[in-house]
């Protein structure tokens, strides 16, 4: 059946005809013309504690993708030592074409449909791709309205005014920077003027670039979904963000050469931070990666074949389940603060985050050295091993 004659398009056309004949108020017509979206929430394992994971809005969301992300979240929480199991959610939609009101209604409907599977001791959502603090506020309010009282600990990544944590916006990026810094120490690489390329200029990419810039690094290339820019003399991350806000893209920034995302990955640099989407470093381009350190800000940016190729090239790859665990770590801090009705200072949050990240990095590095393996294999051994031990200890019942 052609797209022009699917059951849904026929039904919508019939509704339009009837609305015109009845001279329906446009608002009433809009209510009748309800869009249908596929939404998912995958809960992987809760043997370590309540399920924890982000909610993403993206046109290409699939059940397979959400399942993989939920599994990675289980290992990530175990590696960093958080009392959580892994979960992930997603709605297949294009938020760029939707109004704020439509996004709010979509979010509240989603929560109402899976309400029984959520809760501060069962499953705690958080922001992800194209969701933010406002989305989390809607989730908290919907859940609280259904419970009949305020439950700020039901979701993390909220605005500070309603129980959010200091430092949450930059947490993932700060964790990436801490990991890159520790890897640089091992390689005897000085961060002062170390060159950095960042793929992806959303929250994680921009803040990672800014933090590395403040550490003394030279940001020489950044990109977003439309393309990238390169400048050997260095780029000011804040100026690029202002430019992107005005133009909608990082390209055509002054004194910079436009490059493709593929060219950014192949940039000769000390540190590469892939902070976009999955499968960016693959078997066909791994041999062209020139960075000494790859710190994964995104989830799953490197394929298994590329992992092997980079390891054989002596590239220090810090895997996603370690490198980008700062976000879920501060989400855990927010959850704890909400449960105890406390509010920690930014300094306290960042100090606790640094302590956890450094310990996890050292745990993975130590195991990697012992097993003579790449860091991803070591991180997976650590995370899967801890979950498996918990499963064996608790047993299965009934």
Return the C-alpha torsion angle 266, 215, 231, 206, nearest 10.
Answer: 80
Return the C-alpha torsion angle 170, 175, 178, 179, nearest 10.
Answer: -150
Q: Which H or E run contains 57?
A: strand 51-57
Fold of the domain spanning 39-151: Rossmann fold (3.40.50)
As a whole number of angstroms, the distance between CA 289 and CA 270 comes to 11
In tens, the pLDDT along 318-332 reads 999 999 999 999 999
Q: Which H or E run contains 272?
A: strand 271-274
The mean pLDDT value for 286-291 works out to: 96
Residue 4 pLDDT exceeds 70: no
As a whole number of angstroms, the distance between CA 5 and CA 3 comes to 5
**Tokens 């990240």 belong to which residue?**
357
The mean pLDDT value for 70-82 works out to: 96
CB 50 within 8 A of CB 124: yes
As a whole number of angstroms, the distance between CA 87 and CA 153 comes to 16
The catalytically annotated residue of 76, 88, 218, 244 is: 88
pLDDT computed for residue 238 by the predictor: 96
At 184, the pLDDT band (50, 70, 90 cuts) reads very high
At 197, the pLDDT band (50, 70, 90 cuts) reads very high
The mean pLDDT value for 192-220 works out to: 96
Which DSSP category does 88 fall into? E
Let me know if the fold of 39-151 is the same as that of 171-323: yes
Q: How many CB atoms lie within 10 A of CB 202?
A: 16
Percent over 90 (pLDDT), the chain: 89
- Measure Cα distances from 19 to 10, 28, 35 in Å: 14, 9, 17
Residue 305 pLDDT exceeds 60: yes
Check residues 35 and 232 and name the one with the higher pLDDT.
232
At 1, the pLDDT band (50, 70, 90 cuts) reads very low
Check residues 396 and 292 and name the one with the higher pLDDT.
292
CA–chain centroid gap for 121, Å, is 22
As a whole number of angstroms, the distance between CA 210 and CA 217 comes to 9
CA–chain centroid gap for 201, Å, is 12
> How many residues make up the chain in this entry?
398
CA–chain centroid gap for 70, Å, is 12
Residue 348 pLDDT exceeds 50: yes
Buried b / exposed e along 382-393 (16+ C-beta atoms within 10 A): bbeebbeeeeee
Cβ-based neighbours of 182, under 8 Å, separated by 6 or more:
358, 361, 362, 365
Asked whether the bond before 398 is cis by omega within 30 degrees of 0, the reply is yes
The mean pLDDT value for 177-202 works out to: 96
Residue 181 pLDDT exceeds 80: yes
As a whole number of angstroms, the distance between CA 242 and CA 247 comes to 9
pLDDT computed for residue 323 by the predictor: 97
> What ranges do the domains of the chain cover?
3-32, 39-151, 171-323
Check residues 125 and 35 and name the one with the higher pLDDT.
125
At 284, the pLDDT band (50, 70, 90 cuts) reads very high
pLDDT computed for residue 233 by the predictor: 95
Across the chain, what does the average pLDDT equal? 94
Look up the CATH number of domain 171-323: 3.40.50.720
The mean pLDDT value for 164-173 works out to: 96
Residue 88 is a catalytic residue: yes
Give the pairing type, strands 227-230 and 257-259: antiparallel
């Amino acid at each position: 059946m052609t797209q022009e004659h699917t059951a849904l398009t026929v039904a919508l056309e019939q509704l339009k005809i009837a609305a015109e004949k009845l001279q329906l108020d446009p608002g009433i017509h809009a209510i009748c013309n309800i869009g249908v979206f596929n939404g998912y929430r995958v809960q992987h394992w809760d043997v370590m504690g309540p399920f924890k994971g982000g909610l993403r809005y993206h046109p290409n969301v699939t059940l397979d993708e959400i399942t993989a992300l939920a599994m990675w979240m289980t290992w990530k929480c175990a590696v960093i030592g958080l009392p959580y199991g892994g979960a992930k959610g997603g709605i297949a939609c294009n938020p760029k074409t939707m109004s704020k009101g439509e996004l709010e209604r979509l979010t509240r409907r989603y929560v109402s449909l899976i309400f029984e599977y959520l809760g501060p001791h069962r499953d705690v959502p958080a922001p992800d791709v194209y969701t933010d603090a406002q989305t989390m506020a809607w989730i908290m309010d919907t859940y609280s309205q259904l419970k009949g009282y305020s439950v700020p600990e039901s979701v993390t990544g909220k605005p500070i005014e309603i129980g959010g944590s200091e430092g949450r916006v930059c947490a993932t990026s700060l964790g990436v920077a801490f990991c890159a810094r520790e890897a640089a120490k091992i390689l005897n690489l000085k961060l002062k003027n170390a060159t950095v390329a960042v793929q992806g200029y959303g929250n994680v990419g921009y803040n990672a670039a800014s933090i590395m810039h403040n550490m003394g690094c030279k940001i020489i290339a950044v990109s977003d979904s439309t393309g990238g820019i390169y400048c050997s003399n260095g780029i000011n991350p804040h100026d690029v963000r202002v430019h992107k806000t005005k133009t909608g893209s990082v390209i055509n920034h002054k004194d910079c050469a436009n490059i493709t995302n593929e060219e950014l990955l192949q940039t000769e640099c000390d540190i590469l931070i892939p902070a976009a989407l999955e499968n960016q470093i693959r078997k066909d381009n791994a041999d062209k990666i020139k960075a000494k350190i790859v710190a994964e800000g995104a989830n799953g940016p490197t394929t298994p074949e590329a992992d092997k190729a980079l390891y054989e090239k002596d590239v220090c790859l810090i895997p996603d389940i370690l490198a980008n665990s700062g976000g879920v770590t501060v989400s855990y801090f927010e959850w704890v603060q909400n449960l105890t009705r406390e509010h920690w200072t930014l300094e306290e949050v960042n100090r606790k985050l640094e302590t956890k990240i450094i310990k996890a990095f050292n745990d993975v590095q130590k195991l990697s050295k012992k097993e003579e393996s790449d860091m991803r294999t070591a991180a997976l051994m650590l995370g899967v091993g801890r979950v498996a031990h918990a499963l064996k200890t608790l047993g299965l019942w009934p």
